Amino acid sequence: MANLITDIQAQKRNRNRVNIYLGGNYAFSLDRVAAAWLTVGRQLSDEEIIRLQEKDEFQIALSRAMHFLGFRARSEQEMETYLAKKGFEPPLIERVIVRLKESKLVNDLDFAQTWLDSRQRFRPRSKSLMKLELRQKGVAEPEIEQALQSSNLDDFDLAMDAGRKLSSRYQNQDKPEYDRKLGAALQRRGFSYAIVRECLPKLWREKSEPTGG
């Protein structure tokens, strides 16, 4: 009778989980939904207990993954690293990743395209620097190249966009100082000296030209 359910109690700190008591003693906890079919007086086999606990651990890991995705899209490697830091074992992490990929919640090509689009709109930088960032996120080279081709990005246009966003910081500088500071800022964004040298006169001219009709 060791596996006889003698009590099922909702946890005080987490009402979505219940504590299962077997033979009068606390045995394990489960998600309320996973435990919905359990009743006091039911006898559980050892195999049923193992399956219940494995399913529960999978749901916990999946919930953690969904929470992590709630902030922004993630690469497969980012998700693996996050779940490992949370203490989940590699076989379980692999199962979660498979589920997320099946649900199209983790897709490295989509992630790369979203990353490039976000960088282009908010913090433009060179293609080489964006490629490096994506490699650091664990995205494979084929997905990076496909995303770059789809985005049709051009370093000169990216540098001009970045320069326009940065230009106001140096609004009151004379031209030599403007060129020096903005040029250095653009090079920190990964743009080559040749691209920067081509952009600076155009950016200065745009800054200096009066606006309005």
- Establish if 31 belongs to a structural domain: yes
pLDDT, tens digit, 9 for 90 and up, residues 34-91: 888 899 999 999 999 999 999 999 999 999 999 999 999 999 999 999 999 999 999 9
Total number of domains constituting the chain: 4
- Establish if 100 belongs to a structural domain: yes
Taking the C-alpha atoms of residue 183 and residue 197, their distance in angstroms, rounded to an integer, is 8
Shared-domain flag, residues 35 and 54: no
- Establish if 98 belongs to a structural domain: yes
- Establish if 213 belongs to a structural domain: no
What pTM was estimated for this model as a whole? 0.79
Shared-domain flag, residues 95 and 146: no
pLDDT, tens digit, 9 for 90 and up, residues 162-189: 999 999 899 889 999 999 999 999 999 9
Q: 7 near 21, Cβ under 8 Å? A: yes
CATH number (domain holding residue 61): 1.10.10.10
Shared-domain flag, residues 1 and 37: yes
Shared-domain flag, residues 116 and 134: yes
Between the CA of residue 131 and those of 110, 128, 144, 168, 193, what are the distances in Å?
A: 15, 5, 7, 27, 19
Shared-domain flag, residues 165 and 180: yes
Q: Which domain holds residue 185?
A: 155-208
- Establish if 101 belongs to a structural domain: yes
Q: How many other β-carbons are positioned within 10 Å of the β-carbon of residue 155?
A: 20
Taking the C-alpha atoms of residue 40 and residue 147, their distance in angstroms, rounded to an integer, is 55
Shared-domain flag, residues 89 and 119: no
Taking the C-alpha atoms of residue 174 and residue 18, their distance in angstroms, rounded to an integer, is 69
